[in-house]
Amino acid sequence: QVQLVESGGGLVQPGGSLRLSCTASRSIFSNSAMGWYRQAPGKQRELVATITSGGSTNYADSVKGRFTISRDNAENTVSLQMNSLKPEDTAVYYCNAKLRILATTTRNYWGQGTQVTVSS
């Protein structure tokens, strides 16, 4: 049974902070690069941040210096600390697990999404 459980979304004032968390099943998490994506109204889903199983991170330019992705392999959890939030950060945020099944084959799993709203 594959489950990605997200928490931490909500309404926040500009300049405020939120922390998103996502927990996946151990069998998926331990063999996955993890990431956070977001989709704003009328926009395509975009990558926010990723972290490999080894801890290598990547960020969208729009969030560099403000957001931090981390993972706790013992807890099977990936988190996204969001600081200095802006109205343009408003979106549904999705947790993603990219599972390596074979040497060149991956499979993606997604959370259901959590709404982040930054008021203006």
When pLDDT is cut at 50, 70 and 90, the band that residue 3 belongs to is confident
At residue 1 the predicted structure's pLDDT band, cuts being 50, 70 and 90, is low
Q: What is the pLDDT of residues 27-60, one digit of tens each?
A: 999 999 999 999 999 999 999 999 999 999 999 9
Phi, psi of 89 (to 5 degrees): -80, -10
Q: Pairing mode, if any, of strands 18-24 and 105-110? A: unpaired
Instruction: Please return the burial class of 60, using the count of CB atoms within 10 Å of its CB with bins 0-12, 13-18 and 19+.
Output: middle
**What is the rounded CA–CA span in Å between residue 55 and residue 16?**
26
* Residue 2: predicted pLDDT: 56
Can you tell me the mean pLDDT for 91-96? 97
Confidence category of residue 81, pLDDT binned at 50, 70, 90: very high
Residue 55 one-letter amino acid:
G
Vertex 31: Cα angle to 115 and 40 (nearest 5): 20
Predicted local confidence at residue 93, as pLDDT: 97
The DSSP code for 118 is: E
Contact 48, 11 (CB under 8 A): no
